[in-house]
Each structure stands twice: as C-alpha cells, then as structure tokens.
Amino acid sequence: MIKSTTRKSVQKKGLEVICGSMFSGKTKLLIKKIKHFQDNNCNVKVFKPAIDIRYGNEKIVSHDKSEICAIPIKKSEDIITESKSSDIIAIDEAQFFDKDIIEVCKNLSEKKLVIIAGLDMDYLGNGFGPMPRLIKIANQITKLHATCDVCGGKACHTYRKSTDDNKILLGGKDNYLALCKKCFIKNMNKDV
C-alpha cells in the first residue's frame, strides 16, 4: 500500500495532558503520539523549555532514549508565533514554563490539538508550576506511574536524593527516585 503524501486535516482540538512522576514514561508517550500524527501527514510542532538542556538544546529525549526534534522556548507566548502553521502542538516538560503557558494552551486548544507532558508534582509532593491548572482545564488526562525504586509498587512521587532545595534541579536517576506514596512519606519523614 502506498502512503498518501497529502496532509490530513486534523479535526480534533482541545488540550490533552500526560502527567506523572519521573520515569513514568511521559516523554515516551508524547513522542509516540507525535510520531503517530507525523506518520499520518499532520504538521506537528514540538516545544520544550529552553532551560532543559539535558539531552541537547533542540530535542526531547525519553529515559529509554527515544528522541524527536523540538523548538526550545524561553517564554510561553513564543509558542503562539512558532506554531501558526501547525495542526498539532506538543509540549514537553510543561512544569518548567511560566504561568502564561496556561492561557497559551487554553487559547491554542480552541483551534488545535495541544498535547502537553509534565510532572504533576514536585519533589516535595506539591503541584508543580502550572501543571495543576493545566490538568484542571484539560479535555483529556493520562496519569502515568513508574515503578517504585524501593518496593517495586506503583510510583506516583518523585523523590529528590540530594539536599539541594532549589525548586528546579534537572537530572535523572543521579538525583531522583520514583517512589510509591508509602515509600515517599517514609523517606520524607526520614529527611526531617
């Protein structure tokens, strides 16, 4: 069968949120969705916060090393300008964007499909940046879980191993563990 090279029009619009702890597969699922739409000849624009340079400036990479090109963004408003010609907008690490990302996503989702991925909670177990509001206004929410690094249960928390108390500390398994609620509470009480 020959694949059509004409661009399909995407009828779907709205805001889809993929959330969960670190190591739960948020970026992996986002990349899978992006590739699906690209394979169906949709114009997808992919964005990431400019501060996230863990795997390079212009790509998003999952922990299993799946990757895709992305446009680094400093201010949420820039997504509007950069996405004019797109059918679908994908945003990774949404928790790192300024609060304007909420209005940007709200406005864009009235005309296009916007899919975002991000941590729903920070390392203290509190809502992370704009994510709680984005979850509130989403048309669809996918909550993913990792495997607890202590007991093997269903992890929903990200636990920071270091004593660095900056709100944002980029890293992977070197700085963070995925923990279930019970192991998270136990470790947080140990740290007090």
Residues noted as catalytic: 93
Contact criterion met (CB below 8 Å) for 132 and 126: no
Vertex 74 angle, CA 177 and 15, to 5°: 70
Contact criterion met (CB below 8 Å) for 187 and 163: no
The tokens for 185 are 């509470």
Q: How far is CA 9 from CA 1, 75, 88, in A?
A: 21, 28, 10
